[in-house]
Structure 1
């Protein structure tokens, strides 16, 4: 059960979604590990490049609730999204600069898998975001 905001709309179960996405990342990284050690850690890095900025966005975007906080909510969503994009760019730059050897295909494929997982997680988690 998710915590209801004062307006009666439940907040999304961000922690549960993050756990599901983390489990998917572990399985995907283990699958790439069968191709080799470089593919395994490249896949893990690709997933972390997705998860860490996404976690920042979730913390920033969902810290306010209720109709009276509408401006704060919108502002925090924009700040969270901007921060997420900047963190993503920084993490990709760091990986390309400092991690060698690197399986670029495993890195980007895992990033893409995590993106699709993020879209599907609310369905997989069976969250109920309707009004009570």
Structure 2
């Protein structure tokens, strides 16, 4: 019996979600590459600015499990979210400061696409796991 069948809470399939989001980032970046090389790498940077902090959050937030770890779980969620916001700000700052030629629209649109993908990934991935 799995934890879900026993009434326990399962950890989300973070690795699968991260893989799906990474594939979406590559596809989006390649699509922008058809516009121009600058748009392509700007889109890649925008997606990475979302994906790297989100990976940090997932690592921090899902380290603990079980009812006995409730306090640690809450603490790690807050730390993960704070770290994610700080990393996002640092990465945006680094890109704007050190990348001389940048397609701002591609950067922010890619970031927004990754945000929406992040909202939809659990729904899409969840359907596949429920059918199995």
TM-score, with normalisation over the residues of structure 1?
Answer: 0.91
1:7 and 1:75, CA in 2 relative to 1: closer, same or farther beyond 3 A? Answer: farther
TM-score, with normalisation over the residues of structure 2?
Answer: 0.91
How many residues end up aligned between the 2 structures? Answer: 128
Q: Kindly indicate which of the two structures has a greater share of residues assigned to helix.
A: 2
1:127 and 1:65, CA in 2 relative to 1: closer, same or farther beyond 3 A? Answer: farther
Cα-Cα RMSD = 2.0
CA distance in structure 2 between the partners assigned to 1:27 and 1:21 by the alignment: 10
| Stretch deviating more after TM superposition (39-48 or 3-12) | 3-12
For residues 45-92 of structure 1, give each alpha carbon's deviation from its aligned partner in whole angstroms, at most 9, with x where no partner exists.
Answer: 000000000000000000000000000000000000000000000000
1:7 and 1:113, CA in 2 relative to 1: closer, same or farther beyond 3 A? Answer: same
User: Which one scores higher on RCO, CA 8 angstroms, separation ≥ 6?
Assistant: 1
Which residue number corresponds to residue 60 of structure 1?
A: 60
Contact kept, 8 Å, 1:4 with 1:11, in 2: the verdict is no
In structure 2, stretches of 5+ residues that fail to align are none
In structure 1, stretches of 5+ residues that fail to align are none
Shift of 1:129: 9.2
